[in-house]
Amino acid sequence: MPLTNMQMRDVQSVLHPYTNLVKHRETGPVTFVSGRGVHVFDDAGKDYIEAMAGLWCTALGWGENELAETAERQMKQLAYGHLFAGRSHEPAIALAEKLKEMAPFANGKVFFANSGSEANDTQIKLFWYANNARGETKRKKIISRVKAYHGVTLASASLTMLPANHRSFDLPFDFVRFADCPHYYRNAEAGESEVDFAGRMAANLDRLIQEEGPETIAAMIAEPLQGAGGVILPPKGYFDAVQKVLSRYGIALIDDEVITGFCRTGNWFGAETFGMRPQSVTLAKALSSAYLPISAVIVSPEYVDLIEAESGRIGTFGHGYTYSGHPVAAAVALKTLEIYETRAILDHVRRVSPHFQKKLSALGLHPLVGEASGVGLIGGIELVADKPTKKTFDAAKAVAATVAKFAEGEGVIVRPLMGDRIAICPPLIIAPGEIDELFARLTRGLDKGLDWAVREGLLAP
């Protein structure tokens, strides 16, 4: 089909993230014009269930007027204000207070940024700054994990361990080290229990730390579950075992809650779901239900004290962004947190998530699906060429991307990820009937994908 006028305008003017830009010139974009609840509508009027909440972020769905009205009021009252040089304003102060109240660990203060990438970039700088303040100047290395996703700035992309984020960008930087991906389905040895697998992951981490030198490592950063890496849940006992290793060497844990924060896993934070005890937390996405860009780093008192003391020695804390704590974004985030509480969104997630997880688990019976797993209102499936052997497809065949396109044709948006995994992460407001429709549409997409794979001879004989 020829491109529409809007598609042509896009192709001629917009450089798209995470897109094959050569193919895009031929296919053009899918252009959306409106949204309501868990649904979005394209420029032809077609309805889609947005089963990825945008990019894991639009927790309250589309058309939330209270957030729009809050933005309007704040924009009229104080459209911009910054936090540099000791200046402040009520929305930033109130939001910081609320986040400290909600945080799942002993906390000191809050630093605001505009995206998860900026916040995780900030995490690196804060831990370097603090370690320099206490004279541990060799502690510069950050441990991340294979299949981790922590952002796309130069530093945060270095923490991300997905090949496309490094290739031709001359990344990662050499201060990052990578521990194992704790994916039990893919990486466990024959007969190995989840607990034993977690123990082996922790032992490998211990070995890595010893090889690098504990005195050179500033922190380990980890998502409670690995999101863009495939919605990979940690095995039983994983964070307990890992944190014992980190404690042994005085290494801090940074909790990246960009995807899991604010009810997604059935608790306020993923740290609560998986037993993490971090020294610092990164928040973004659902913080404002993605209605405006904002992120935050919540730092423990020990590190706040170090950072403040070092700023006194130097004369300033030389870090920050023009839009850190932007009053309109902060006001919208504060209203978002209020809505989570007043509408009992966490209780809703806990009520509907068993139904969501039952539907997700049932996808494991589909001939294309090797693993289907999740928690709360997030899940992932892995497509395989042969279920008993877990044989993978040739990556060049782009099976997950093809299936996701079939699903899109059926009116549901999911996200294909590396390793032929498909992520599902709907708005938190999704109702049981909408969950049924989501999985009905996705199953039709999988069925069409199966027919295509058979025609292409992609399945194991």
> Can you point out the beta strands (E) in 339-420?
369-375, 378-383, 412-413, 415-417
Render 301-340 in DSSP notation, one character per residue: HHHHHHHHHHHHHHSS-----TTTT-HHHHHHHHHHHHHH
CA distance 441 to 413: 10
CA distance 406 to 449: 7
In a 3-state reduction of DSSP, which class is residue 348?
A: helix
For 340-356, what is the mean pLDDT?
98
**Which one, of 132, 130, 88, 137, lies nearest residue 301 by Cα?**
130
| pLDDT > 90 in the chain, percent | 98
CB 427 within 8 Å of CB 39: no
pLDDT of res. 461: 72
pLDDT band at 460 (very low <50, low <70, confident <90, very high): confident
Chain segment 258-281, per-residue pLDDT in tens:
999 999 999 999 999 999 999 999
CA distance 50 to 39: 6
CB 62 within 8 Å of CB 39: yes
Alpha helices in 147-193 (DSSP H): 154-159, 184-187
What letters, b where the CB count within 10 A reaches 16 and e where it falls short, cover 418-452? Answer: ebbbbbbbbbbbbeeebbebbbebbbbbbbbbbeb
pLDDT band at 195 (very low <50, low <70, confident <90, very high): very high
Q: What is the DSSP letter of 236?
A: T
In a 3-state reduction of DSSP, which class is residue 455?
A: helix
pLDDT of res. 338: 98
CA distance 56 to 69: 23
pLDDT of res. 138: 97
For 243-265, what is the mean pLDDT?
98
Looking at the chain, how many residues does it have? 461
Alpha helices in 28-64 (DSSP H): 53-56
pLDDT of res. 223: 98
Alpha helices in 134-218 (DSSP H): 154-159, 184-187, 194-212
Tokens of 424: 């599902």
Number of helical (H) and strand (E) elements in the chain, helices listed first: 16, 15
How many Cβ atoms sit within 10 Å of the Cβ of residue 183? 24
pLDDT band at 104 (very low <50, low <70, confident <90, very high): confident
CA distance 109 to 31: 40
Is 1 a residue whose pLDDT tops 80? Answer: no
For 118-140, what is the mean pLDDT?
98
When the pLDDT of each residue in the chain is averaged and rounded to a whole number, the result is 97
**Sheet with 412-413: strands ordered across:** 32-36, 39-42, 47-50, 412-413
pLDDT band at 2 (very low <50, low <70, confident <90, very high): confident
Element (H, E) at 21: helix 21-27
CA distance 224 to 231: 10
Find the distance separating the first CA and the last CA of the chain, reported in whole Å. 36
Chain segment 389-444, per-residue pLDDT in tens:
999 999 999 999 999 999 999 999 999 999 999 999 999 999 999 999 999 999 99
Full set of structural domains in the chain with CATH = 31-63+344-455 (3.90.1150.10), 67-342 (3.40.640.10)
